[in-house]
């Protein structure tokens, strides 16, 4: 599979040094054990050979149904999961196999914002201490300096100073996500991987949190990998979008081209399901047959062929590669 360049809209020039992240042929398989001796009898191919680049300061949205491998890809890039094959280059360094102290150093620059901030906040710890902990671990600052820094972070994410002394259960879902964002920012990272950061929140607070992320990106010069299943949320956040299906990247494009003219039949179905704000506008919805097949035994050829309304004979025989069919618009489909 070819490497996907991720550019700012309208900017097609790419230089190696501008890439913060380069993912090359990344695979993450989970072994499936079976039989009396618990031998490996197969693999769940959660991420199956994806490649892309992410330039400094931009946002790549990763979309797809649940189980398509987008969260596994994010966790593998952060090295929370072990890659099976491929390469992860971060800021010019190969971090695919680093461990121990080197991995700890890299983690400083790559942080995650989780879907459920409540599950990732220790209910017994004061919010001030939760945010201060990573700063203290890396810098051993004095108590007074730590407190000042945490107060500054609380202000940046729109929380009052007294949030410092409270506990996670005293906050609403949106406020807890703000705490999660403050903690992710504490070490001044270069890359933030946000995994469904607003999908657990009420619609009324989703846009506030998304706008906060955008403002912080500008202020802290952050690069985002933004993972979500909701295409309207991804559209709001991203410069470019990658669509994943069954562990593969099936389409990557700048967002305007993707939403105006989706090329892959799977992307077309996803976009047809976005509700229109105006009820008078009639939109034909493409209903896909069946469920996402098992990643343990994915279909041959194009893994989408059992559900694809456009499938042809060759689709079950040969796997399409991701190729550029329009400037900054790549698709893996035999129709093109």
Residues between 264 and 303 that touch ligand SF4 (CB under 6 A): 264-265, 302
Kindly tell me which of 236 and 264 has the beta carbon lying closer to ligand SF4: 264
CA distance 149 to 141: 10
Contact call for residue 334 and ligand SF4 (CB under 6 A) = yes
Distances (CA, A) of 198 to 173, 211, 234: 9, 11, 11
Residue closest to 6 by CA, chosen among 239, 248, 283: 239
Residues whose CB falls within 8 Å of the CB of residue 18, separated by 6 or more in sequence, listed in order:
55, 56
Contact call for residue 126 and ligand SF4 (CB under 6 A) = no
Task: Single out the residue of 22, 298, 304, 330 in contact with ligand SF4 (rule: CB under 6 A).
Answer: 304
Task: Single out the residue of 150, 308, 328, 329 in contact with ligand SF4 (rule: CB under 6 A).
Answer: 308
Size of the site for ligand SF4 (CB under 6 A): 14
**Shortest Cβ 1–ligand SF4 spacing (Å):** 14
Please report where in the chains the tokens 């810098």 appear, as a residue: 139
Element (H, E) at 81: none
HEC states along 252-287?
EEEHHHHHHCCCCHHHHHHHHCCCCCCCCCCCCCCC
**Shortest Cβ 171–ligand SF4 spacing (Å):** 44
Kindly tell me which of 171 and 304 has the beta carbon lying closer to ligand SF4: 304
CA distance 235 to 61: 8
Contact call for residue 154 and ligand SF4 (CB under 6 A) = no
Kindly tell me which of 121 and 333 has the beta carbon lying closer to ligand SF4: 333
Chain positions contacting ligand SF4, by CB under 6 A: 264-265, 302, 304-305, 308, 310-312, 315, 320, 333-335
């Amino acid at each position: 599979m070819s490497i996907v360049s991720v550019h700012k809209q309208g900017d097609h020039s790419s230089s190696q040094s501008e890439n913060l992240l380069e993912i090359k042929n990344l695979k993450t398989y989970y072994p499936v054990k079976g039989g009396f001796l618990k031998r490996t009898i197969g693999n769940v191919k959660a991420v199956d050979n994806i490649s892309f680049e992410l330039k400094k300061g931009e946002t790549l949205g990763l979309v797809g149904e649940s189980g398509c491998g987008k969260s596994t890809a994010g966790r593998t890039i952060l090295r929370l999961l072990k890659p099976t094959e491929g390469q992860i280059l971060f800021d010019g360094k190969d971090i695919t196999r680093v461990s121990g102290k080197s991995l700890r150093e890299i983690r400083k620059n790559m942080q995650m914002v989780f879907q459920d901030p409540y599950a990732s906040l220790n209910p017994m710890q004061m919010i001030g201490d939760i945010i201060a902990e990573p700063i203290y671990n890396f810098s051993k600052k004095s108590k007074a300096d730590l407190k000042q820094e945490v107060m500054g972070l609380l202000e940046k994410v729109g929380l009052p100073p007294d949030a410092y002394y409270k506990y996670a259960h005293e906050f609403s879902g949106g406020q807890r996500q703000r705490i999660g964002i403050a903690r992710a920012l504490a070490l001044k990272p270069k890359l933030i991987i946000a995994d469904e950061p607003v999908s657990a929140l009420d619609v009324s607070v989703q846009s506030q949190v998304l706008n906060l992320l955008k403002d912080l990106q500008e202020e802290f010069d952050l690069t985002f990998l933004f993972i979500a299943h909701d295409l309207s949320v991804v559209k709001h956040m991203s410069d470019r979008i990658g669509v994943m299906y069954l562990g593969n990247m099936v389409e990557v494009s700048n967002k305007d081209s993707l939403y105006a003219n989706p090329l892959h039949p799977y992307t077309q179905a996803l976009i047809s399901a976005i509700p229109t704000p105006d009820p008078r506008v009639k939109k034909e919805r493409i209903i896909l047959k069946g469920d996402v097949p098992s990643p343990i035994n994915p279909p041959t050829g194009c893994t989408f062929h059992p559900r694809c309304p456009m499938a042809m004979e060759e689709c079950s025989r040969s796997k399409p590669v991701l190729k550029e069919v329009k400037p900054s618009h790549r698709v893996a489909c035999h129709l093109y």
